[in-house]
Amino acid sequence: MASQEHWNLENGNIKPLSKEHRHGHGHSYGRTAHNRSSTSLRKKSDLSLVSKVQCGLLRHFLTNIQEVILGTKLSVLFPAIPLAIIAQVYNFGRPWIFGLSLLGLTPLAERVSFLTEQLAFSTGPTVGGLLNATCGNATELIIAIFALYQRKVDVVKYSLLGSIISNLLLVLGTSLFCGGIANMSQEQKYDRKQADVNSQLLLLALLCHMLPLMFKYAATADTLTAVPTLQLSRASSIIMLIAYIAYLFFQLKTHSQFFETQVEDDDDNDNVADEEEAVISFWSAFAWLVGMTAVIALLSEYVVGTIEDASTSWGLSVSFISIILLPIVGNAAEHAGAIIFAFKNKLDISLGVALGSATQIAMFVVPLTVIVAWILGIKMNLDFNLLETGSLALSILLVAFTLQDGTSHYMKGFALLLAYVVIGACFFVLKTPIVPDTNILNFGAKASSGAVLAA
């Protein structure tokens, strides 16, 4: 290990962290649940062959390839990226483009998490935490922006709603179920402090989602509700972003001990590469992050552009694909990490991943898309319709009740999984047509005229 650190120092200008820094003390980079879960899909790189290369520039490049491309157990999915591009260039079947793009996004999402952590070793805990807070759900955000650009507001709402429900019910449910089965002989406990904070923020997000819906139904028949609903949604989005900034200050500064996970001695027995020091330099990580973000943007454009064709070809509704398939495939790496740590009876990490990601989407990504739509002149509000908002509300309440006592068993996870299955069945049978350009301003007029005709 000492020789490896010496080689890194000589060739990559990487400064290994001291033991004090590795364990999150003082001004070190604290390991959050998201960071710890993403390491479960990484593997240690054998640089013995690369170190024999004489040319320094080539050796540095091969080291980066080894660490970034081959340093994940999901590297087998990287060939889907060029295949998706080839399929797009040569006009292969558009459902194939959709499927290959989804597969290509899976390892990219995990690698973005890896690269932000590499940057955090050089930038310090605060900037590193901000990087994770903004890049943790970069895939969902980029897909949402491209869907907005193509005026597919319903796809934006469905995909973000699906990400929240998927984290709350599928990821958390599978984690609690698998952890309960694997550790049936001992009582599973977790720290409620982080779960309580995330549950409170999710309930605040739910309130901001329900107010436009209730406002629409509370209005009289002769009232044009579209403009006030849009204004209320934009104001609520600003409030949610302020709350998220306060949450970041709470998480990174005043109460960071709630969100840090300590490295345990038994972690050394795992085959997982537990990243306690930077393996590539700052500028290499930055360049890789920019490049992978560009590839994510390209594949996201393919996904958004071919989703209707995939829906028609596969016989699945766009709502089912957006709410169920997109979140499962796009966050597969993060989900797998949470489940792996649940098997090891480390529920604090699993809860931190599932609840933290759901909170980030609900309090940051969703209101940010509303603001971006506002800037682009697109009338997107927080009214996710009655069925979608009701599913979100019951999911949040079910999770809040499930986590109230600080202990877990497999029955809790099984109940969450069944809730996810029945919600998935609901959207599977729902065949809602997608309107490419939702003209919200006409909604209130249509509703009021319909009421007059009915009278």
Are the C-beta atoms of residues 275 and 108 closer than 8 Å to each other?
no
Question: Does 387 reside within a domain?
Answer: yes
Kindly indicate the confidence band of residue 432, based on its pLDDT and cuts at 50, 70 and 90.
low
Domain limits for position 375: 51-260+282-429
pLDDT at site 14: 40
The yes-or-no verdict on residue 445 having pLDDT over 60 is: no
pLDDT at site 26: 37
The yes-or-no verdict on residue 245 having pLDDT over 80 is: yes
In angstroms, the CA 15 to CA 4 distance is 12
Residue 309: other Cβ atoms inside 10 A: 15
Kindly indicate the confidence band of residue 417, based on its pLDDT and cuts at 50, 70 and 90.
very high
The yes-or-no verdict on residue 97 having pLDDT over 70 is: yes
Higher pLDDT, 366 or 274: 366
Kindly indicate the confidence band of residue 368, based on its pLDDT and cuts at 50, 70 and 90.
very high
Question: Does 407 reside within a domain?
Answer: yes
Question: Does 445 reside within a domain?
Answer: no
Please give the average per-residue pLDDT across 295-311, as a whole number: 85
Higher pLDDT, 243 or 123: 243
Q: 58-75: per-residue pLDDT in tens?
A: 766 777 677 777 777 777
Kindly indicate the confidence band of residue 222, based on its pLDDT and cuts at 50, 70 and 90.
low
Task: Report the percentage of the chain scoring pLDDT > 70.
Answer: 71
pLDDT at site 422: 94
Q: Three-state secondary structure along 61-117?
A: HHHHHHHHHCCECCHHHCCHHHHHHHHHHCCCCHHHHHHHHHHHHHHHHHHHHHHHH
What would the two tokens of residue 197 be? 């904070």
Average pLDDT, the chain: 75
* Residue indicated by tokens 């319909």: 450
pLDDT at site 241: 93
Question: Does 24 reside within a domain?
Answer: no
Identify the weakest region by mean pLDDT among 40-49, 110-119, 167-176, 330-339: 40-49
Question: Does 2 reside within a domain?
Answer: no
pLDDT at site 371: 93
Question: Does 373 reside within a domain?
Answer: yes
Helix (H, G, I), strand (E, B) or coil at 42: strand
If we measure between CA atoms, which residue out of 304, 352, 348, 355 comes closest to residue 330? 304
Question: Does 438 reside within a domain?
Answer: no
Q: How many domains does the chain have?
A: 1
Helix (H, G, I), strand (E, B) or coil at 32: strand
Q: Please, what sign has the CA dihedral across residues 77, 83, 88, 94? A: negative
Of the ranges 221-235, 252-266, 306-320, which is most confident? Answer: 306-320
Please give the average per-residue pLDDT across 326-344, as a whole number: 78
Question: How buried is 276 (Cβ within 10 angstroms: 0-12 exposed, 13-18 middle, 19+ buried)?
Answer: middle
The yes-or-no verdict on residue 117 having pLDDT over 70 is: yes
Question: Does 22 reside within a domain?
Answer: no
Instruction: Identify the CATH number of the domain in which residue 83 sits.
Output: 1.20.1420.30
Kindly indicate the confidence band of residue 39, based on its pLDDT and cuts at 50, 70 and 90.
low
pLDDT at site 420: 93
